[in-house]
Amino acid sequence: MVLRGFVVALCLATLTPSARAAGGAWIWYDHRQSLPVTDGWPRIALRVMTDLRADSNAGGLDMLFLRVGPIVSVTPWLSLAAHLSTAADRTEAGAFSTQYRPEFDAVLVARAGAFTISDRNRFEGILGVPDPLFRYRNMLRVDYAAFAVMGPYAFNEVLLRSRGEAFHDNRASLGMRFHLGANATIDVGYMLRSRTLPGGGVWEHDHLGLVSVVVLTGG
């Protein structure tokens, strides 16, 4: 109940119109079911992830995302994933259009003391739109295990596309990760999203509240 109330309050606060920039909230829920393949490496899990995005300029719900696919942890420092995502994306006219996105991820992980550094490389196609495109996304993330139950994180993601201006979107976030037992985490943070407007040359900045829940089951 406390978490639900916090999420609702965060959405209402970030959806308040601002004269300086758009506000919003992104809420991610990532469920990973481990599959009993081997006792060691590799390890395989099935991911089902939802992504809800609310935006003050859209007057509420802006995008609803569903991602499904396997994650293969090849070694402690390398994981590979193949997903199929579908998204309901609000158009400028106010209606929703459907997108389909095949995705491939390669994630490198390094650990140094209490620090964990991950580098996610995502290759995706965006289909179901008038002009399909391909995109490369790189997210560099640093987590610091300050305490047993919580610690700060920071990430920055760069998005490059195959048409128009290549570099068109950047997402930077700071926040705290909370460990809810051995198999669940919740990230609560702030994200600054900078993106080019249609036509290029002009950047818009969105101030977003971010809540990300990851739950592991099985294994």
Q: What are phi and psi of 6, to 5 degrees?
A: -65, -45
Average pLDDT, the chain: 88
User: Would you state the pLDDT for residue 7?
Assistant: 41
Ranked by mean pLDDT, the top range of 20-34, 54-68, 155-169 is 155-169
What dihedral angle (degrees, nearest 10) is formed by the CA atoms of 71, 73, 77, 83? -10
Higher pLDDT: 197 or 153? It is: 153
For residue 103, pLDDT over 90 is answered with yes
Q: How confident is the model at residue 131 (pLDDT cuts 50, 70, 90)?
A: confident
For residue 113, pLDDT over 70 is answered with yes
pLDDT tens readout for residues 58-89: 678 889 999 999 999 999 999 999 999 999 98
User: Would you state the pLDDT for residue 14?
Assistant: 41
> What's the predicted TM-score (pTM) here?
0.86
Q: How confident is the model at residue 21 (pLDDT cuts 50, 70, 90)?
A: low
pLDDT tens readout for residues 92-102: 777 889 999 99
CA distance 25 to 80: 28
What's the average model confidence in pLDDT over 27-43? 91
For residue 134, pLDDT over 80 is answered with yes
The answer to which of 9-13, 19-23, 28-32, 202-206 has the lowest mean pLDDT is 9-13
User: Would you state the pLDDT for residue 76?
Assistant: 95
What's the average model confidence in pLDDT over 163-182? 95
CA distance 76 to 163: 35
CA distance 171 to 159: 9
Higher pLDDT: 39 or 123? It is: 123
Judging by beta carbons within 10 Å of its beta carbon (0-12, 13-18, 19+), is residue 178 exposed, middle or buried?
middle
For residue 1, pLDDT over 70 is answered with no
